[in-house]
Structure 1
């Protein structure tokens, strides 16, 4: 059905949908439908939606609205009248989805209403339509203000007379990158302190004012993710007019939305790089680094660093680095979206005050039941709704004035990520304990009405109530006192509001700081930081020895920008109370001291004296950035009882500390008599500054004498590469041949060819070494794309001295680089490539960056499958998953991992059966360039010496970038050596496998991919 385009039109849902929604909301109808017996087409119908749902006990789910009244909802707000405001994303990434027809007038902001209170929307109107809101990712309705988050801008619409027609539209912020991109700016939230909170993903990059000027935060830092102060995604807080903006946390990948509780606590989810099962839930410890990239260098988490975690999800977030805030939960695979703290009373008590979160990757809405644990938190998970429909993609959760929970559903075969399978469908659900929907009404013109509204879980009701009571000044006191007497979240909100009254600020802060409940005491610290900065030291002195580690955590963070002698003394007092089992406490102390590390650490060390070498002291030395910690860290390493894990961690800490004699202190460790001296030597040579070594003959000899003792370790290879020791090629080749760490062997083979070790490889491949070993070495070479490597491989291929399996592997390795693809294509054109290897070569050439090669490669195969495929018919078919696995090994495993099988180049596919529906799997195979995963966009890098590299960029620093190439190899490239860098128009994934596969094979492959599902594997890290 054509989407309606008028600016303001009212529809009747009954006319549009007939009886569809009424049937779908009927419990009787739901019971009689066996969802598993429906065809794929029938499963997509709104009237069958509820039959797919599993709903938690004590809750009732109804379908409030569905297509064609709305389509592709990306975010949702509910106003004080109980109406549902929707951002549509029907123009989502139209340039990546050329096969879909879009609305040229732009996306819409809709208002849905249930006027007869039966629980089904019966009217819809268009508040605004335009290309400037295409694929907006956030909406907040606050009285007459409607804030729309749509990169590159944040727009503020004003509707002063309440006629649902905007009277004005202004730009609040601009310059946010991530236009039409999931990783841009997200929704705004009104907090209990009357400030606005929001975030953006790692494609946001910067924040500019409406005129395009750089914005500085309240501490004078430019808000830009260039590593000078901040990296990657960020979370923000500001006044209602956009002033006094703060960066509350940084180094996120893509936090979809912030949630603020009544005490001022901040919560959000974050998405991992696709396929790495590192999705997480965070409590936002303010001003923290959250570890997506190396905070020092900006390097990708895949790039080797000292002492990284063996477990990928932990490595992903740099959790072993000093200065990384721990995660509340690792939620495994997924695509986390909207989140809220439920602070109303309609849903059962166990959900009240808890996080509720939309997780479209697993077709589920969850509650995270959070409990305090030391200075941090722990949580368990309970599903509120789980659907059997793999098109159910909940992307937002919002509380209505009556306390019910509304859920928006993008409803698609995938979860965004640059690809839309469908732009016409979308759903809104209501979760409640009651039938029907009668929004609660509030009187915002009276103190009593506003006091009632201040307790609401609905943001607009709370906002308007807050504004009324704040405007009343002293006259609001009776209402605030009444709420304070009742306790709970109402008391927390009243304390915030009372403290905003200048004549009462001191009274309310002291009331909170002296409360018997620790939640209010920690809130009091937040109130003092905001409203009484000049007296903050005095207030912190009240809580410096508080019995609650939660309160002490907040006190430590509050010291961050003080930098006085008194503040240092308070920090030392808090540090003395640190529990070594509490990482949250340690990171709070680190955040509090990072701006004045030498001053704060000196105060602690003065109190501790020489009696500091207990576990608590070691942790403080490890985390604190003070120069004086460098020699103490060396003393910790000298301990004979040190574990290998602690040693790695301690050496990693050296990277975060500066000292004029750091290299001398490290070098001195080489001469220690120690049970683990080999490990010490390995870490030392990996840490030493190259100039320090190369500028001194003595230092160079010392390092060279150590190298044989640590040969084959990651640190040895780091040192060889750093120091340019080309006389180590034989040893490097031995690591390539016999190493136990595949990733390290791939790093080594890149260095080997850079150091002119190609003759060693050629001699080995032509030797009588076992075939299995040669096959393994060729596999390690996958992704090596230098001219010497390509010439070597082509020469071996043309000499035809190796057997068929080895020669086929040579073809595969050549096909993993741009230069190698060019050579293969020329051989095909010249008729010089043996027929036995044509299929292998063509499959590789079909993902070439060169359009001529990519488009012409299939012509060298006979009997190619038809390009005209009916995807709707294919999804109804069942295939042979066992055969599909064989096809996966042939076509996919050279670039993707599924479980333990494959090569880590493209996104991991271990959970692809959860994330993508059958229809989406087909479309991604047939049209891979339409849905390139973020972070896997291909680039062609052309070098001064004529070499060309193809791959995706892992990280970019001031003077170099790191490229990951097909086959899994990584290469550090100096920016000065690059003459051209071009973004590929096509996906790095093989384009059009359907051209070389039979239809039956395609069905079998998709059947197997659909079985790749990881059970929900939420991990409590505390």
Structure 2
């Protein structure tokens, strides 16, 4: 059973110009057996599917999407969709839905937070448009348009000014009408791919979810009216241009669709292939094609150079429909051979595409010649066609295209990869894996990745660091278990100054991508030598500091690794025997050196691991850090824990920490004392509660809630009473509530009921002071449920449907900040409508979380 976000479902059923049905699904994923008995499964990603009108030949057309809503074809048969962001500072994307394309999203990314927030999606920039170090196995989005793509439609051609010919209209849903709109844009060829032009707001101040065009020339827009969750008073709006209201062509469209196309003659249908409305052209094409081979002549006549360009394209697509529907495709396909030499690049490209999908293998040599066409779009479709037809003799031409392209045009690389994959000649691929040109080797690797071939491990030693990193991605992320030992062996390249020269000099993006996955592979395999290699990665100062810290984290989880992949969050429990004794030996060697690192986070993590596993350290060094008032607090706490667990001087360490004038350190000592001698801890807490420091008392109250003794319960009861009388500072109220929540029994339940009644906000009223700003920052940036950056700009990134939080403390005092968090509908910032789109945080955050968020927001000036 998988649980996904609301609304990430199936959407966007539409007809393709090839006569097939296309539709999308969000990242709830899919697992289905088609009519031909083939299982189609990916429970972690969204996709676009297609099938024949009768439901046969169901297949995945494009995958790796997060939450695509509608999909739409342009006038030239290219498919696009808008895909939504993951609320982690990434942006929504306009995606060219290319056949065989992978966009790179996995549902598990959504719950990865902290230093690995959203995993490779954010860490490796998969969501971004083309950039130098983006993973090669995914196609980059065309552009970032809007921040909440929903409905999408292609302008059919009538009802608006000529400016909108071949334009798209997309609903940008941002939670409030003031920041939502129907956007319009067009795409134009950019090599074999596309770029976006003429992006602008067509209709503003409407919380739109869907947009379409009627046969009456009007645009129809569904309006959610307000908020993310309110759905009780939606409405349908219409938009029209009165200057085109009397256009006779619009009246003709209405008549055609009301009367149907099946009664029209072949000649009339052929005429309609030239119509200005895309829907009319498509319906005429479909009807002609449904009449079978008798329509071949009509289509062929329309493909002539004297016909309008769009009519010629529809005729080509119609011939393709006939070819797929008959046992012998040659009569419908042979007329297209001459079009491969046409002066119009779009005619050449679509003729190649249709021939490739026809199954008529005799056309393959002509398509191979077309691979050397000067137009990238033609080359793209020619290469894809040769691959689809399984024409092995074309591999040399495909290879030549790859090295001449040299990875400059990512769509051409994608076509080459798909062709090599479809040719299904493993021997030829392995031979090409040693090609002198990196672009060829990379394409071979990506083709092998698609079949999960363990041979990708040979690329780990490639002289090009980008290719080596791409091999690591394939092995870990798919995963390819048979190649995992080879990936773990790559740790040796990062374990000493003399090893791994090529990776040591590589861009940090490539080093990090490979090293992160090699660390995890070593942990999965679990040999003593793997543990040693992981430790050496942590010790080698020339390695990226983030990966050195990750190496210590891997060692910390070695005995019982998480069931989730540390890279991408997938559920992958580690099975099999692990060399725990060898790991302990490694810890004894490495940790005494790691705790001396100048990086406080690394040293602290190493010291915590030493304490946890009772690894002996130099007590004199540990004592000096514990008693050094200038040392980092995290490291002092780690020293306290380590001395308590392994030195035999735990009592002395606790007393030293208790005597220090530092609330965090004293709080840590109190927790240890509460475990060892709870009554003595109660006495210390009683003393702390008489002192002035807020932080000191917060820590003391927190520990008090963990102690099960009559006196502790009495003290908590008294403190709870003081929160009601006002005797206790407000900054301590949340701590008392939290501590009291840990108590069970009739009396605590009764007191909570009397104090809070039925008001769900009562527990939060005191959360306006006393928080931890640093923890609040982490919650604002990374809490997946609250998703603050979905709507607000925070530290330069985020959405725009809520006000920028950059200087929020200049606009609101603490009381107002608290109110805006726990009751967002009470006051809405100017310019953001009458209702807040923000969800009720009391269902997502506890009082301590809210207090810390308010404390952080109070620093934003």
TM-score, structure 1 as length reference: 0.56
Tell me the distance in 2 between the aligned counterparts of 1:843 and 1:860: 13
Tell me the distance in 2 between the aligned counterparts of 1:329 and 1:189: 23
Which residue, out of 636, 641, 664, partners 2:463?
636
Deviation at 1:247, TM superposition (A): 0.4
Deviation at 1:384, TM superposition (A): 3.4
Corresponding residue for residue 189 of structure 1: 14
Tell me the distance in 2 between the aligned counterparts of 1:301 and 1:993: 16
Tell me the distance in 2 between the aligned counterparts of 1:990 and 1:378: 45
Which residue, out of 738, 761, 773, partners 2:600?
738
Which residue, out of 840, 846, 850, partners 2:734?
840
Corresponding residue for residue 288 of structure 1: 101
- Bigger mean CA offset, 857-866 vs 248-257: 857-866
Corresponding residue for residue 590 of structure 1: 417
Corresponding residue for residue 563 of structure 2: none
Corresponding residue for residue 210 of structure 2: 396
Any conservation in 2 of the 1:396–1:407 contact (CA below 8 Å)? yes
Tell me the distance in 2 between the aligned counterparts of 1:850 and 1:264: 66
Any conservation in 2 of the 1:400–1:406 contact (CA below 8 Å)? yes
Determine helix, strand or coil for the equivalent of 1:337: strand
Any conservation in 2 of the 1:842–1:858 contact (CA below 8 Å)? no
Deviation at 1:284, TM superposition (A): 1.2
Tell me the distance in 2 between the aligned counterparts of 1:814 and 1:351: 66
Corresponding residue for residue 501 of structure 1: 322
Corresponding residue for residue 345 of structure 2: 518
Q: Deviations over 1:414-446 (max 9, x none)?
A: 3xxxx22x5124231314363658754344332
Any conservation in 2 of the 1:341–1:353 contact (CA below 8 Å)? yes
Is 2:260 the counterpart of 1:428?
Answer: no
Deviation at 1:281, TM superposition (A): 0.8
Corresponding residue for residue 33 of structure 2: 215
Any conservation in 2 of the 1:896–1:906 contact (CA below 8 Å)? no
Q: CA 1:696/1:509 → structure 2, altered by over 3 Å: closer, same or farther?
A: farther
Is 2:849 the counterpart of 1:987?
Answer: no
Corresponding residue for residue 674 of structure 1: 501
Which residue, out of 264, 280, 301, partners 1:481?
301
Any conservation in 2 of the 1:926–1:991 contact (CA below 8 Å)? no
Any conservation in 1 of the 2:16–2:22 contact (CA below 8 Å)? yes
Which residue, out of 582, 586, 601, partners 2:429?
601
1:425-464 matches, within 5 Å, as 425-432=234-241, 434=243, 436=245, 439=251, 440-443=253-256, 444=261, 445-447=263-265, 450-451=269-270, 454=273, 461=280, 464=283
Which residue, out of 198, 205, 230, partners 2:23?
198
Tell me the distance in 2 between the aligned counterparts of 1:349 and 1:411: 31
Tell me the distance in 1 between the aligned counterparts of 2:733 and 2:124: 34
Tell me the distance in 1 between the aligned counterparts of 2:634 and 2:209: 49
Tell me the distance in 1 between the aligned counterparts of 2:35 and 2:708: 49
Q: CA 1:275/1:351 → structure 2, altered by over 3 Å: closer, same or farther?
A: farther
Which residue, out of 463, 468, 482, partners 2:287?
468
Q: CA 1:411/1:922 → structure 2, altered by over 3 Å: closer, same or farther?
A: farther
1:43-192 matches, within 5 Å, as 181-192=6-17
Q: CA 1:904/1:313 → structure 2, altered by over 3 Å: closer, same or farther?
A: farther
Q: What is the aligned-residue RMSD (CA, Å)?
A: 5.8
Corresponding residue for residue 966 of structure 1: none
Deviation at 1:370, TM superposition (A): 1.6
Determine helix, strand or coil for the equivalent of 1:188: strand
Deviation at 1:290, TM superposition (A): 1.1
Tell me the distance in 1 between the aligned counterparts of 2:845 and 2:118: 32
Q: Deviations over 1:760-817 (max 9, x none)?
A: 9998997453498459989xx9xxxxxx9995597799645798354477589999xx
Tell me the distance in 1 between the aligned counterparts of 2:120 and 2:287: 53
Determine helix, strand or coil for the equivalent of 1:291: coil
Determine helix, strand or coil for the equivalent of 1:715: helix
Q: Deviations over 1:10-44 (max 9, x none)?
A: xxxxxxxxxxxxxxxxxxxxxxxxxxxxxxxxxxx
Q: Deviations over 1:500-531 (max 9, x none)?
A: 33474213543543332222333223322433
Which residue, out of 401, 410, 413, partners 2:227?
413
1:251-330 matches, within 5 Å, as 251-293=64-106, 304=116, 314=126, 320-330=134-144
Q: CA 1:989/1:704 → structure 2, altered by over 3 Å: closer, same or farther?
A: closer
Tell me the distance in 1 between the aligned counterparts of 2:622 and 2:733: 25
Tell me the distance in 1 between the aligned counterparts of 2:374 and 2:210: 38
Tell me the distance in 2 between the aligned counterparts of 1:378 and 1:282: 11
Any conservation in 2 of the 1:453–1:461 contact (CA below 8 Å)? yes
TM-score, structure 2 as length reference: 0.65
Any conservation in 2 of the 1:278–1:313 contact (CA below 8 Å)? no
1:324-343 matches, within 5 Å, as 324-331=138-145, 334-343=147-156
Any conservation in 1 of the 2:274–2:310 contact (CA below 8 Å)? yes
Any conservation in 2 of the 1:302–1:316 contact (CA below 8 Å)? no
Corresponding residue for residue 547 of structure 2: 715
Is 2:184 the counterpart of 1:367?
Answer: yes
Q: Deviations over 1:556-593 (max 9, x none)?
A: 44455666633544432332332332233323333333
Structure having the higher Rg = 2
Tell me the distance in 2 between the aligned counterparts of 1:776 and 1:694: 31
Any conservation in 2 of the 1:522–1:550 contact (CA below 8 Å)? yes
Tell me the distance in 1 between the aligned counterparts of 2:743 and 2:21: 45
- Bigger mean CA offset, 315-324 vs 752-761: 752-761
Corresponding residue for residue 383 of structure 1: 200
Tell me the distance in 2 between the aligned counterparts of 1:807 and 1:382: 56
Q: CA 1:603/1:890 → structure 2, altered by over 3 Å: closer, same or farther?
A: same
The answer to which structure has the higher helix fraction is 2
Structure 1, gaps ≥5 residues long: 1-174, 208-213, 782-787, 869-883, 929-984, 1013-1022
Q: Deviations over 1:291-335 (max 9, x none)?
A: 11299x999597849995877864689983231111111346x22
Deviation at 1:233, TM superposition (A): 0.8
Q: How many residues align?
A: 706
Tell me the distance in 2 between the aligned counterparts of 1:600 and 1:822: 75
The answer to which structure has the higher strand fraction is 1
Deviation at 1:666, TM superposition (A): 3.0
Tell me the distance in 1 between the aligned counterparts of 2:290 and 2:30: 35
Deviation at 1:278, TM superposition (A): 2.1
Any conservation in 2 of the 1:896–1:908 contact (CA below 8 Å)? no
Tell me the distance in 1 between the aligned counterparts of 2:775 and 2:300: 65
Tell me the distance in 2 between the aligned counterparts of 1:371 and 1:475: 32
Is 2:791 the counterpart of 1:911?
Answer: yes
Deviation at 1:263, TM superposition (A): 3.4
Determine helix, strand or coil for the equivalent of 1:500: helix
Corresponding residue for residue 547 of structure 1: 374
Any conservation in 1 of the 2:225–2:233 contact (CA below 8 Å)? no
Tell me the distance in 2 between the aligned counterparts of 1:813 and 1:505: 79
Q: Deviations over 1:738-771 (max 9, x none)?
A: 24xxxx9999899788657999999899745349
Q: Deviations over 1:379-434 (max 9, x none)?
A: 135223353x4xx21112212335443322222223xxxx22x5124231314363
